[in-house]
Amino acid sequence: MKILLVLTGGTIGSACSDGIIGTDSSRCRIAELYREKYGDEVSFDIRSPVYILSENLNVHHWEILVNYILSEDISGYDGIIITHGSDTLAYSSAMLAFCLGGIGKPVVITAADKVPDDPDSNALDNFRAAVNIISYAADEMKQGGGVYTVYRNHSKKGSAEVFVPTRLVEADRLYDKFSVFGGSPLGVVYEDGKICCFDEGSRNLLYRMAEKRTALNIRSISFEKRVLMLHPYPSMDYENIIPGEDIGAVLHITYHSSTISEDAAVLAERCRQRNIPLFLCSFKNDMKAVYDTSKVIIDMGAVPLYNISNEAAYAKLLLGVNLYPENICGFMDDELYFEYSKEV
């Protein structure tokens, strides 16, 4: 089996020296550890178009990464593994799923909680699971496609969970565990390569992911317009929130009740005057009613997004304002890669 291994840095591509963790682009330690434990039945062509700690990630790095993969001849590979930092893993997972879901090869994104040489790290388990997903996609599902994120989150050592990349929610600040918007992981990838899905619905979704071909058919991407994402908090000062000239849309996260302060009317009016679309994330499609504070903002032109995570909404909206600026709402309504959680 031959895999294109795309390194982007992060903890999984770092080393620790004197208590300081930094990226180490001089060697691919995770591939070395894999060969030491599992042999060389898998060959890796290693590339590194960007190499950063993922907290430093910006849209320019996404441009480089996506455009590099789209420009590569991948016909000779069984699949692609992208190693990434954990801090922005959820955002990149969504972006990569949207952009690479139609390339016809399995793409697996993974990360690590500690540097690969740390005996308590989940790096090798995650990397092994990524290899196994590619093998499973080709041998068992017979489709050979799909985009997946794998990470040993709650599972036992030697295994890792498999996630829908557009439903991954960033890790919590205390336990460093990832969660899933509107549900749970699809299942567990075991060391022997077997995948145990948690229920029949998860297994069906896994197969649908393998055969999915996203409608986003692009050869390259350029993010000239940006998205301003805002999170609500008490006494948020909307008077001082002024979108810059490069802002193509504003994404305002709501509280869990799909509400924001009535003070956001200042922002809504500012966006209306400058013809900047304002989106609210996320509403529930089974809501019987909305709070009057939300209705005021919607009546001023804000567009509610339903059943989608903050991370996926941000990535998708960034694509929308740059690819379909004249039809952003229509673009956001169409499902690209399972980003809308039907379980909600």
Q: Could you read off the pLDDT of 146-201 as tens digits, one per residue?
A: 999 999 998 889 999 999 999 999 999 999 999 999 999 999 999 888 899 989 99
Q: What is the pLDDT of residues 195-218, one digit of tens each?
A: 999 899 999 998 888 888 777 878
Long-range pairs of 66-73 with CB within 8 A, sequence gap ≥ 24: 66/95, 66/96, 66/99, 66/100, 66/220, 66/221, 67/220, 67/221, 68/6, 69/6, 69/100, 69/103, 69/107, 70/99, 70/100, 70/103, 70/218, 70/219, 70/220, 71/220, 72/4, 72/47
Q: How far apart are CA 70 and CA 105, in angstroms?
A: 12
Region(s) of the chain under CATH 3.40.50.40: 226-333
Identify the band that residue 17 occupies on the pLDDT scale cut at 50, 70 and 90: low
Among the residue ranges 10-19, 29-38, 171-180, 243-252, the one predicted with the least confidence is 10-19
Q: What is the pLDDT of residues 264-317, one digit of tens each?
A: 999 999 999 999 999 999 999 877 778 899 999 999 999 999 999 999 999 999
Residue 154's pLDDT is what? 86
- The answer for residues whose C-beta is within 8 angstroms of residue 29's C-beta and 6 or more apart is 13, 15, 115, 116, 117
**CATH for 226-333?**
3.40.50.40
Residue 241's pLDDT is what? 96
Q: Structurally, what CATH architecture does the domain formed by 2-211 represent?
A: 3-Layer(aba) Sandwich (3.40)
Region(s) of the chain under CATH 3.40.50.1170: 2-211
The predicted model scores a pTM of 0.94
- The answer for residues whose C-beta is within 8 angstroms of residue 299's C-beta and 6 or more apart is none
Residue 16's pLDDT is what? 60
